[in-house]
């Protein structure tokens, strides 16, 4: 009985608290609206976007000898700068290691993190972040010798697998082999580079890591052409940009920048076709590039924000191909990152 009463008191108290919260929210309606636009406003006042990237990851973010940043993650910030300033060079890139990256975002040192980071619930709720979109679906895969008669990771029974010690990759591979009734030997190494060396020295038949990393590691092997990455992926690593909670406008800008680049690809709008697209009579194209409606202005940008992105960076497929895809050294197939209409799972809501 006592417990029941306590429960009633508790629920009454929480109802009161909720009511108070609603009242407070209503009274302070002006304040959140102001707070919401703070990042874009700060970026505009500063005259540049501050973008956190990795310290150097082939295809994703790298600085050349002239100090120019390029890569898939870099392009995302270039696209934002193009949308905001009509100038993709108005970005200050801040290289961050894995430990620094979220703290830099929380402290306000950067406006956005675009650094091959996996979207998880823990990161959103514990670090008070939002991952507005998945720009790159990565996942753990397997690299094998072409001479090995294998087409699927289900044919890896009895394999000797090289993997870095203490990583989720090591756990995933054990789970995967057990779940599929396959025997395996694990050859663990203290670093990722050592795992590659061990594989190249024939100490194992299979190298496992995230697929994007395997493609980069393949290039460091003595004879890259003699190795291939199997098309299977055994874990989920949805990578994307992250922003702070509490600024919905900024999160919307990041989210729709990605979706606009995807929709552009789906509609055939690219850096090469944008002039033609400006004359298009197709409603979906007109909405996208702002020749009909001014959706961009509703998120604090210009009506022609997507035109700016196309001219500076291009659509999603162009950025993918140039940095990590068929047009790059990495030559990663689109795979999961293909449009939903072309064999992948990249799917953008319409404008």
Partner 1 sequence: MAWIRPTTGIALLLAAAVVWWTAPAAAQFRRQAPPETMQIEEQPGYEPSAEEEHLPAGYRRQLVFFRTTEAPGTIIVHTSERFLYLVQGNNRALRYGIGVGREGFQWQGLVKISRKAEWPDWTPPPEMIARQPYLPRFMAGGPGNPLGARALYLGQTVYRIHGTNQPQTIGQAVSSGCFRLVNPDVIDLYNRVPVGTRVVVKQAPEM
Q: Which residues bind partner 1 (CB under 8 A)?
A: 68, 70, 75, 78, 87-89, 151-152, 224-225, 228, 230-233, 266-269, 271-273, 276-277, 279-280, 282, 285, 311-314, 317-318, 321-322, 325-329, 331, 333-336, 338, 342-345
CB of 236 to partner 1, least distance (A): 14
CB atoms within 10 A of CB 269: 28
Q: Which residue has the tokens 């190494």?
A: 189
Select 3 or 67, whichever has its Cβ closest to partner 1: 67
CB of 211 to partner 1, least distance (A): 9
- Separation of alpha carbons 91 and 85, rounded Å: 10
Structure token pair of residue 18:
């909720």
Select 62 or 187, whichever has its Cβ closest to partner 1: 62
- Separation of alpha carbons 82 and 16, rounded Å: 47
Select 205 or 280, whichever has its Cβ closest to partner 1: 280
Pairing type for strands 237-244 and 136-138 reads antiparallel
CB of 24 to partner 1, least distance (A): 46
Select 220 or 245, whichever has its Cβ closest to partner 1: 220
Select 81 or 253, whichever has its Cβ closest to partner 1: 81
| Chain centroid, CA 138 distance in Å | 9
What are residue 240's DSSP bridge partners?
117
CB of 339 to partner 1, least distance (A): 10
**If residue 142 lies in a helix (H) or strand (E), which one and from where to where?**
strand 140-145
Helix (H, G, I), strand (E, B) or coil at 69: strand
Select 231 or 238, whichever has its Cβ closest to partner 1: 231
CB of 147 to partner 1, least distance (A): 15
Select 75 or 247, whichever has its Cβ closest to partner 1: 75
Q: Residues of 51-66 as b/e, b for ≥16 C-beta within 10 angstroms?
A: bbbbeebbbbbbbeee
CB of 331 to partner 1, least distance (A): 4
Environment class of 21 (CB within 10 Å of its CB; exposed 0-12, middle 13-18, buried 19+): exposed
CB of 154 to partner 1, least distance (A): 9
| Chain centroid, CA 114 distance in Å | 7
């Amino acid at each position: 009985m006592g417990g029941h009463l306590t429960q009633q008191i508790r629920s009454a108290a929480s109802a009161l608290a909720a009511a108070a919260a609603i009242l407070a929210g209503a009274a302070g309606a002006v304040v959140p609206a102001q707070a919401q636009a703070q990042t874009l406003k700060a970026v505009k006042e500063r005259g540049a976007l501050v973008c956190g990237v990795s310290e150097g990851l082939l295809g994703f973010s790298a600085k050349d000898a002239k100090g120019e940043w390029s890569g898939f993650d870099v392009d995302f910030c270039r696209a934002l700068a193009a949308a905001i300033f009509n100038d993709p060079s108005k970005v200050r890139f801040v290289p961050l290691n894995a430990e620094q990256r979220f703290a830099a975002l929380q402290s306000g040192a950067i406006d956005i993190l675009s650094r091959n980071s996996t979207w998880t619930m823990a990161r959103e709720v514990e670090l008070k972040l939002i991952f507005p979109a998945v720009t790159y679906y990565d996942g753990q895969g397997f690299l094998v010798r072409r001479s090995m008669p294998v087409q699927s990771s289900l044919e890896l029974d009895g394999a000797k697998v090289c993997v870095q010690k203490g990583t989720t990759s090591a756990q995933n591979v054990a789970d995967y082999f057990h779940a599929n009734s396959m025997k395996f030997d694990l050859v663990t190494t203290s670093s990722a580079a050592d795992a590659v060396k061990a594989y190249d020295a024939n100490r194992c038949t299979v190298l496992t890591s995230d697929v994007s990393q395997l493609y980069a590691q393949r290039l460091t092997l003595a004879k890259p052409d003699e190795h291939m990455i199997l098309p299977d992926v055994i874990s989920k690593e949805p990578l994307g940009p992250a922003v702070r909670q509490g600024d919905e406008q900024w999160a919307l800008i990041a989210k729709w920048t990605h979706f606009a680049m995807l929709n552009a690809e789906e509609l055939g709008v690219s850096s090469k076709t944008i002039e033609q697209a400006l004359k298009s009579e197709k409603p979906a194209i007109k909405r996208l590039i702002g020749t009909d409606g001014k959706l961009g202005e509703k998120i604090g940008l210009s009506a022609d924000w997507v035109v700016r992105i196309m001219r500076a960076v291009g659509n999603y497929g162009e950025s993918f191909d140039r940095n990590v895809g068929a047009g790059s050294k990495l030559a990663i197939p689109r795979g999961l990152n293909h449009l939903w209409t072309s064999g992948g799972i990249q799917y953008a809501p319409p404008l």
